[in-house]
Each structure stands twice: as C-alpha cells, then as structure tokens.
A and B are shown apart, each in its own frame.
Chain A
Amino acid sequence: MRRLGVVSWISILAALGAWEAVARLNIVPTQLFPPLSKVLAALVQMVLSGELPRHYARTLARVVLGFSLGSTLGIAVGLAAAYRRLTYGTLYPLVALLYAVPAVAWIPLFMLWIGLGEGLPVAVVFMCSFPPMVYSTLTGARSAGEDLVRVAKTLGADDLQVVTTVLLPQALPHILSGLKVEAGMAWRSCFVTEMVAMSSGLGLLAMEAQSILRVDQILAVVMVLAASNYLFHWIFERLEVSLLTKWGVMG
C-alpha cells in the first residue's frame, strides 16, 4: 500500500507539473488555459477576499442538511421495509422508481413547487440521498438472514429491539458503503442546483467566474468541489474499513 501511495503521488505531481508547463508554453491563450500557479493564486485571492468561504459555507450547509435528512430517513424506511414484509411490498417498487430518476431532473419541478429559496437545493440533495439509502439499508438488513431475527426474538427482543440491535448493525456495512457513494452525489447535485437556480454557493461562483471569463476562478472552484467530495468519501470509507476490520470481515 505504501509503495503504491508513493507512485500515486508521483503521478499526480507529474500531471500537475505537465499542466503548468503546457500552459506556460502559450499554445492556447493563457486566459482559456491558465497554468496551475495562476489557478492557485486565484484560489488564495478568493479565500482571502472572503468570497469563497462565504459561498462554501452555504453549499456545505445545503449538502449536510439534505444529505443527513435523506440518508437518515432512507435508513429508517429501509429498516422498516426489511422488518415488515408488507412495508417491503408497498415501498420497494416506489423507491425503485424514484431511484431511476437522476436527482438533478427534479430541479425544474422543484423550482416551481418550492421556489428559489434554500429549500430547493436541500430538496434536490434529499432526493439524491433518500432512494439509494433505502435500497442499501434494505439490502444490508436482508442479508442478515431470517435466523438472526428468530434467535433475537427467542432471546427476548421485541420488534424495536430486533431492528436496533440486529438489523441496523448488520446493515451497517452496506449503509456505510452507500453513504460513501451518495455523499459524492450529494455535492454534485447541490453544485448543479446552484449553477442553475441559486444566488449563492459554489455553483453560483463557478457561473459568475464564467460570465467574466475567469477560467482560473472556475478551476479554483472545481478544485474545492473535488476536494470536498473526496473528503466526504474518505470519512465514510475510514468508518467502513474500521468497522469491517473490527468484525473480522477484513484485515
């Protein structure tokens, strides 16, 4: 792993170096293809001016709110569906249908239903997290197997205790791997919503930079988006790995 890490870093540094070098050769106008150093300078300038932190805070809040609402509710519904056959039969087809709709496709509809307020990106992020989390939780809880539930019942568990002490922990690896993927999707959906319909946030920053032909700023915003995306992914991945190692599934 360590050796691979070194190789990865070298390849990233080489790509960045090539970017800087090619941009400085001036084959394409620097304005359309600025070198890395110029992008980083724009980033620093946007941070120092307070513009980036202000918009970033808005995006972060929307992502965190929409994502936590969507995944919490998704996990709850998934567990209920796993435990009750009836709930499973009624909910599953609906969730499968919702799952088929890309989250950003809700934007036009929600613009009319919710308006252009803070509710809009939160709702879009919610629609991006909810169906997949129902699905992951359901899959995970069902993988626990009927016997586990039966044993828990004979040992004295009531319905709620079966869900909290058996189904939820058993579904946790699936839930975490779902969260890992969906956290990235949440950032993407939020960014697009802000580009299309919002007057604040990273998406808006990118659109504004575009309107004044500041490619360096666009790229700076994109870098921030990618980093945030990666950070969320990394957090859930760490949780997943440590949990699976503890239970003896990995390592």
Chain B
Amino acid sequence: MPAIELRGVSNFALRGVDLEVRDGELMVILGPNGAGKTTLLNVIAGLVSYEGSVLFDGAPVDDIPPRERGIGYVPQSLALFTHMTVWDNVAYGLKLRGLPEDEVRARVKEALSLLGIEHLKDRYPRRLSGGEQQRVALARALVIEPRVLLLDEPFSNLDAPLKRTLRSELRSLQSRTGITTLFVTHDASEAEELADRVAVMIGGRVIQVGTFEQIFFNPSAREVANLLGSQNVLECEGYRVVSQGLAEALCGDLRILVPYDGGAVRKVAIPPDKVVLSRDRSKRAWFNTFKGVVERIEPSRPSYRVEISLGRFRLLAMVLEGEMETLGLREGDEIYVKLPIKHVRILVDGSE
C-alpha cells in the first residue's frame, strides 16, 4: 500500500495530479519554477484547499487539519522562529503536544545530536550560518516523528560543497529513519543524487514517474528531456568490452567508447552542454569523434542550440557564444563532434 496517494488533486496551481509515494521512499519532485511543486507539498500537508483526494496509508486525510496529519515540513524559506533559541525551535512541536518535560528534553537532545547541532542549542537563528539553519529546520521537522517529511528546495540557498554534504547527510538520515520523504527541487543533479524515484512536474501536472535512470533514458516529453539534460539518447544494437571499465557501444554507424561495469549496453547518452565541436579532427584524442552535419542553429542565451545529424541520429549541442564565434558555424557545415568519455552515460539491460 502506498504511504501517500494523490487522486485527481486540483486547485489554483495543480491540474489533476495523480501520484503514489511508497512507504519509506525518498521521492524527488522535479520541475521548473511555477510547476506547482510547492503547492503539491502544501496539499499533502493540508495547508491549502484542493479538490480531489489525498490518502495516507489508504485512508483519506482530506478532512484532517495540518496539525493532525503528522507532517514534518521544511519550506524553502526554512521559517525558523527567529524569536526562539535553537532549542525552543526544536522543542516547539513537542511542547504543543503537551509531552512531559523530561521526554521533551530527551527527544530534543536526540534530534539535535542526530543533526550534529547540540552546541548551537542556546543560539538564536539569526546568529547561525545557512547550513546550521538548515539543520535546525530539519531537526524541528524530524523531532515530532512525522509520518511524512516534506522538504521544499531546502538546500537552494547554500553553496555547492555544503549542498553536497547536506544531501548525503539527508540521504543517510532518511534511510536510517525510513520516513517517507518528498523532496522538491528544480535541479536534476539533486534528483539524481537523492531520489529513490523521481516525479517530474510541469504545468501543474505530474507527467512522469520513475527512477532517475528510467526517466533520463526514456523521457516522455521534450520538456522532461530538457529538464534532465537527456536530449541526446542514442539507441545501441551491440557492445564489446574493451578493457576493465571500458566498452565500445555500437549505435547505428557509431562506435562509442563508454565507461562500463557490466550488463548489456542498450543506450548511450550525452548531455548537450558536454558535446564538444571542432573544425578539425584532433590528432591526439581521436576517439569518440564523429563527423556530422549542422542542421539547425538557434540562439538560446547565453548559448546556441546546435542540432547536428550524426548518421541516423540527431544530436543537440549547447555551444557558448564565444566558442560559436571561433567556430564560425553555419547551417549545412560539416563538423567534428566529440563525446568526452567521462560525460557519457549508459543504460544497461536490467537497470530499466
């Protein structure tokens, strides 16, 4: 039985959303700004009105107010109570439940140490760094032992290294606690790193659900491919293992070297911004370089979208403006296309 189920949920931002989230799963809701991701979380929490039905463990919760739904919610703004210390922020939900004082103390302590912020307990939120605030917000949401954890772009305001640290912390925290978690983001790499499964939202609808790999190699619409950076997926007919960790995939007329660790290679993909174009065939690094024809050039600031036919495939390359000037590309030109091996991804049998 799914832990959370949405049936035909509609309101000002959602247009008939159906979604099943499995018990204990970390599902990433991936979509561009304005897709209705935050509203979806608010519907699950019962914070906005909607038509349709939301079920927890098979039972409708539509008439249950937010405070009784058992939700741990971390909004994008974090919404820490600036007038309370870290300790009081985390204790807030437990105190409202009227728990005895020693139990409150024990559980707050546990939550603080779980997130490694015990030493901050007497500080006020404004005196904390971004990462520390993040941890406080998570501790406050987890301490009430929610059935469902809702995280709305919680790491969007942090720098990249801190983001990575917190992501992996969240991943291990989630698998230890086993709380069904919905994580909203517009960043495909975040979805790839965190998700058990991904639900792609566009224009108020959930349009595709699956593992990141499933969606990446089988995007159901062009918008989905654009969102994940998987516009270039090449079907392959065979493969040959070259050496440890390396194989040659046979895709149409192309023989593409790919990173390999077992399984039958079915598809090869390269993100459009990783495709390298050149006028001459490089002598030093000739492999994975193919001759193609420029079919279409379209400005898409700060880059150009360049469509290249490569045998039976049509490949998209995103080329920066400066590079474009150096190349002097025009539609109809012949061009060498290099697929750098470290950016090539493969789909093997059994993983789809």
Chain A residues with a Cβ under 8 A of chain B: 145, 147-148, 150-158, 161, 165-166, 169-170, 172, 246-249
Given known contacts A150-B42, A248-B127, A155 and B79 CB-to-CB distance under 8 angstroms: no
Give the distance to chain B from A239, nearest Cβ to Cβ, in Å.
14
B33 lies within 8 A of chain A by Cβ: no
Q: CA separation between A151 and B137, bound complex, in Å?
A: 10
Judge whether A154 and B66 touch: CB under 8 Å: yes
Give the distance to chain B from A125, nearest Cβ to Cβ, in Å.
30
Judge whether B83 and A154 touch: CB under 8 Å: no
**Other-chain residue from A150, A166, A170 in contact with B75 (beta carbon distance below 8 A):** A150
B93 lies within 8 A of chain A by Cβ: yes
Q: Enumerate B36-89 residues with CB–CB distance to A below 8 Å.
A: 42, 45, 47, 65-67, 69, 71-79, 81-84
Majority-rule SS of A interface residues: helix
Residues of A with C-beta under 8 A to B96: 155-157, 161
**Other-chain residue from B47, B140, B144 in contact with A153 (beta carbon distance below 8 A):** B47
Give the distance to chain A from B118, nearest Cβ to Cβ, in Å.
19
Residues of B with C-beta under 8 A to A161: 96
Judge whether B127 and A156 touch: CB under 8 Å: no
Interface size on B, residues (CB 8 A): 31
Q: Enumerate B67-126 residues with CB–CB distance to A below 8 Å.
A: 67, 69, 71-79, 81-84, 92-93, 96-97, 124-126
Chain B residues with a Cβ under 8 A of chain A: 42, 45, 47, 65-67, 69, 71-79, 81-84, 92-93, 96-97, 124-127, 140-141, 144
Q: CA separation between A154 and B141, bound complex, in Å?
A: 9
Q: CA separation between A217 and B67, bound complex, in Å?
A: 63
**Other-chain residue from A152, A153, A156, A169 in contact with B83 (beta carbon distance below 8 A):** A169
Can you identify 24 A-B contacts, CB atoms within 8 angstroms? A147-B76, A148-B81, A150-B45, A150-B66, A150-B75, A151-B74, A153-B47, A153-B65, A153-B67, A154-B67, A155-B67, A155-B144, A156-B93, A156-B96, A157-B96, A169-B84, A170-B81, A172-B83, A246-B124, A248-B82, A248-B124, A248-B125, A249-B82, A249-B126
Which of B67, B78, B83: most chain A CB closer than 10 A? B83
Give the distance to chain B from A1, nearest Cβ to Cβ, in Å.
22
Q: CA separation between A161 and B72, bound complex, in Å?
A: 18
**Other-chain residue from B79, B84, B97, B125 in contact with A150 (beta carbon distance below 8 A):** B79
Q: CA separation between A156 and B145, bound complex, in Å?
A: 12
**Other-chain residue from A148, A153, A247 in contact with B126 (beta carbon distance below 8 A):** A247
Q: CA separation between A225 and B210, bound complex, in Å?
A: 74
Judge whether A156 and B124 touch: CB under 8 Å: no
Judge whether B140 and A150 touch: CB under 8 Å: no
Residues of B with C-beta under 8 A to A152: 81, 92
What residue in chain A is nearest B71 (Cβ atoms)?
A154
Judge whether A151 and B73 touch: CB under 8 Å: yes
What residue in chain B is nearest A246 (Cβ atoms)?
B124
What residue in chain B is nearest A172 (Cβ atoms)?
B83
Given known contacts A148-B81, A247-B124, A248-B127, A154 and B47 CB-to-CB distance under 8 angstroms: yes
Judge whether B97 and A156 touch: CB under 8 Å: yes
Residues of B with C-beta under 8 A to A153: 45, 47, 65-67
Q: CA separation between A172 and B96, bound complex, in Å?
A: 21
Give the distance to chain A from B44, nearest Cβ to Cβ, in Å.
10
Residues of B with C-beta under 8 A to A150: 42, 45, 47, 66, 73, 75, 79
Residues of A with C-beta under 8 A to B125: 248
Which of A147, A161, A169, A247: most chain B CB closer than 10 A? A147
